[in-house]
Structure 1
Amino acid sequence: MTHRFSLRVYYEDTDLAGIVYYANYLKFIERARTEWVRGLGVDQKALKESEGIVFAVRRVEADYLSPARFDDDLVVETTLEAVTGARIILHQEVKRGEEVLFAAQVTVVALSETGHPARLPASIRLLLH
C-alpha cells in the first residue's frame, strides 16, 4: 500500500539557483510521513499522552536524483517496507509526474518520553500488518 501526499514548491523552498534546497526534501518526506500516520488513524498527541510513546527518525539514506524547481507540483509516495517491535522502515520518493527526483529509506523508531527505545504498541503494529 502506497500513501501519496501532494505539495507545491514555493519560492521559500528554493535556493539561489531556483531549485529546491536539499534539506527541504527531508521536510517534504516528514510531512508525508505525518499524513501517512494520521491516515492510519494514529493520533500522535494521544499516543504520547496515553502511552508516553513518540516517533523519531533514526536513519535516513537519501538519493538526490534530479532537481525540483519553483512552482513544481510534487507527490511524495510513502511505502511501508518492514515493521519490527520498535522500528518502522519506509521507502519514500518525491516525484514530479512519473519522474523520481528524490528517494529515501527511512527508519523510524519508537521512543519513551525520556528518549529510551520503546516497543511499538500492539495496536499500531496491527495497523501496519
Structure 2
Amino acid sequence: MTSRNTKTFVATIAAVSVLGLAGCGVNDADVVSQNIATAADNFEINRRIIIINNESDNVIQLIEGWCNAEIEPDAIRTTCKVPGGYHKHINGRNAHTTFSIQQLDTANVSKDHYRVTFNPSVVIPDVEVR
C-alpha cells in the first residue's frame, strides 16, 4: 500500500469504529458516571452523604469527606479516607429497626495489601500428646 492508501485505510477504520461505538448506546453521561464511580472507589470524590429515617424524617447520620458508598437493599455502607486512616460506617433499616454503626477511631489499614486471618483451630490439626 502507498502512504496515501494507508492513511485512507486508517481513516476509514477510525470512522467505522466511531460509528460502531455510537450504535452501541455509549454516551457521554454514561462514561462520566462510570468515571466518577471509579474515582469515588479510589477516594478521589469529596461527598456529603445524608442518611434519613423514612418514617420519622430525622437525619440518622451525615457523612462528609472522601467517601465511597455501597448501596444495598437494606443497608448503605460507606468507606471514607480521613487523615491517618479510614472510617467505615454502616446504616440500615428493616421492618422493625433503623440502625447506624459509626466508626469512632481511624483504622490504619493498607490500601495496597489484603489482610487474611485464619482460625487456628482450622489450620492446626488437633494433636494429642502422651
What is the TM-score of this pair, normalised by structure 2? 0.29
Q: Which of 1 and 2 has greater Rg?
A: 2
More strand by share: 1
Ranked by relative contact order (alpha carbons within 8 Å, sequence separation 6 or more), the top structure is 1
What TM-score comes out, normalization by structure 1 length?
A: 0.29
